[in-house]
Amino acid sequence: MAWGDPLKRGDKGADVVELQMRLAGFRGTMPDGDFGPGTELQVMVFQRDVMGMKNPKGRVGAATLAAIDAFGAAHPVDFQQLTCKCGVCDGFGQGLFKGKYRGGRKIEAYHRYEYPGIHRMLLWAYRGAMFYAGHKGWKLTVNSGYRCSEDNRQHGRSSTNHHGKAIDMDILGAPSKMIDRERCNALRGLLVEKANAQVGWAAGNRKSLEPAEIAPTWVHYDVRSYDRKFLADRYFVKTQAALDTPPVL
């Protein structure tokens, strides 16, 4: 099977992984390559919300594949916004500190590894966020993407989530700080509802949002609670082309 072939419930393989990546903003599952009920729900939500189908069946044929491509093209990701601004790395860290943990506890939140780019699922989920925000008339931007260890050093930060597993989104053009706060809260609610994200990090294998107390006037979105196998280097990208090109299956 190759990416572009029809897919349906019960199918397994690398092209199902690619489907799960691309539909990360619609409910959301892990990229386990198993087209089960969760993946089928993602397809149905995409078919209903993006394609406008009245009775979506959750089977992926040529029309749905074309719609996924069109959805990606309609929501370009500005990789310039995502780059680290430290002035030392190439924009996405230097691959330092793999397997090294802050405080010595082997917990992903303390993993110091500079992942090689930004996680593809996070960026496809960002596209979903752009899509649903668009229904409210909001335009999203990324005000903080990659922040490598050198950038952390320059700013006195210790958190390593922005080593490729997190972006901070902002809604453009709020007329006041109060309205900005309200809109950021509403966007978090939308992502919980539409993308099955969680506020906080209690559950494993869920997209996470920082609560309003930490992120009042922006929306931090991350994949740090994903299992290690879903944080493999191959899932991280540095260019739009790499985001949009399925890996060789």
Where along the sequence are the contacts to Zn ion (CB under 5 A)?
A: 84, 86, 89, 148, 150-151, 166, 168, 220
Q: How far is the CB of 191 from Zn ion (least distance, A)?
A: 14
CA distance 85 to 45: 37
- At 177, list the tokens: 């700080």
243: buried, middle or exposed (CB in 10 Å: 19+, 13-18, 0-12)?
buried
Least distance in angstroms from the C-beta of 118 to Zn ion: 12
Closer Cβ to Zn ion, 41 or 166, answer by number: 166
CB of 87 to Zn ion, least distance (A): 7
Provide the minimum distance between the beta carbon of 156 and Zn ion in the complex, in angstroms, as a whole number: 15
| Phi-psi group of 172: left, alpha or beta (phi > 0 → left; psi -120 to 50 → alpha; rest → beta) | beta
Using an 8 Å Cβ cutoff, are 219 and 103 in contact?
Answer: no
Nearer to Zn ion, 23 or 89 (CB): 89
Closer Cβ to Zn ion, 17 or 84, answer by number: 84
Q: How far apart are the first and last CA of the chain?
A: 8
Toward Zn ion, which CB reaches closer, 38 or 143? Answer: 143
Identify which of residues 9 and 198 has a Cβ nearer to Zn ion in the complex.
198
Q: Return the number of the residue (111 or 220) whose C-beta is nearest Zn ion.
A: 220
Query: Smallest gap, in angstroms, from Cβ of residue 144 to Zn ion?
Result: 6
Give least dist CB 93 to Zn ion, A.
Answer: 6
Nearer to Zn ion, 135 or 157 (CB): 157
Q: To the nearest whole angstrom, how small is the minimum distance from the Cβ of residue 152 to Zn ion? A: 9
